[in-house]
Structure 1
C-alpha cells in the first residue's frame, strides 16, 4: 500500500514502522533462544545495572509491577537471572547468572546482525548519524517529553 506524503513526514509513524520491521526480524532470530526482544531488553538492563531491583527494571521497561514480575519470573525460571537479597527486606536485587551472561552475549550478537540487515541500505556514516539522533531523542537530558494538553471543554 502506498504511504502518502503526510505519513512520510511523521517521525513517530516512521519510527513505529522501523520498530515493527526490526522487532519482527529480532523476534525470529531470537526464537532458538526462546526469548523475545522485550525479554532481551530486560536482560541487557539487568546486565548493565547489576543489583537493580524489580521496580527500577519495570520503570526502565515502562511496564507495570505485575508485568515486571512475570518477566523476572520467566527469566529466573530459565536460569538467566537470579534474585538476591536487596538493600532492605522488601526488595530483591537482580543479577545475571553465568548462563545468563553467556546467553545474553550470544543474543546480542544475533540482534546486532538483525540491526545490520535493517540498516543495510544506509552508509556507515548514515547509520552512525541515525543512531546518534535516536539516542538523543530517547535518552538523557535531551529525552523527548510528550505532554498532552487538556482537551478544550
Structure 2
C-alpha cells in the first residue's frame, strides 16, 4: 500500500514500522526458547540488577505490578530466576539462576544474529549513528537508558 508524505515524514510511524519488523524477527529468533523479547529483556534486567524487586522490574519494562508478577512467575517456572528474601518483608529480591544465565546467553546471541540480519544494509558508522539517535528520542527531561 502506498505510504504518502505524511507517513514518510512522521518519525513515530517510521520507528513503529522498524520496531514491528525488528520484533517480528526477534520473536522468530527466540521461538526455540518459548520466550518473547520482553521476557528476554526482563532476564537481562534481572542479571544486570541482581536483587531488584518486581516493582522495579515492572517500572523498567513499563508494565504494572500484576504483569511483572506474572512475568516473573513464568521465568521462575522455567527455572531461570528465583525470588529471594528482599530488603523488607513486602518485597522479594530477584536472582538469575545458572540455567537462566546459560539460556540467556544463547538468547542474546540469537537476537544479536537477528539484529545483524535486520540491519545488514547499514554500515558500521550508520548503525552507530542509529543507536545514538534512538537514545536521544524522548523529552529533554526524560529518563536516560541508565535511569529508566
* Structure 1 equivalent of residue 46 of structure 2: 46
**What SS is found at the alignment partner of 2:83?**
strand
Q: Is 1:33 aligned to 2:51, yes or no?
A: no
* Structure 1 equivalent of residue 135 of structure 2: 135
* Structure 2 equivalent of residue 117 of structure 1: 117
8 Å CA contact 1:119, 1:127 repeated in 2: yes
C-alpha separation between the residues in 2 aligned to 1:140 and 1:7? Answer: 24
What is the RMSD computed on CA atoms of the aligned residues? 1.8
Matches within 5 A, 1:63-78: 63-78=63-78
* Structure 2 equivalent of residue 97 of structure 1: 97
* Structure 1 equivalent of residue 108 of structure 2: 108
Runs of 5+ unmatched residues, structure 1 = 145-153
Deviation at 1:136, TM superposition (A): 2.4
**What SS is found at the alignment partner of 2:30?**
helix
C-alpha separation between the residues in 2 aligned to 1:72 and 1:106? Answer: 19
Deviation digits for residues 84-138 of structure 1 (CA, Å, limit 9, x no counterpart): 0000011000011001011111100000111111111111100010011112226
8 Å CA contact 1:137, 1:143 repeated in 2: no
Give the TM-score taking structure 1 as reference length: 0.89
* Structure 2 equivalent of residue 150 of structure 1: none
Q: Is 1:56 aligned to 2:49, yes or no?
A: no
* Structure 2 equivalent of residue 147 of structure 1: none
* Structure 2 equivalent of residue 18 of structure 1: 18
Q: Which has the higher contact order (CA 8 A, sep 6+)?
A: 2
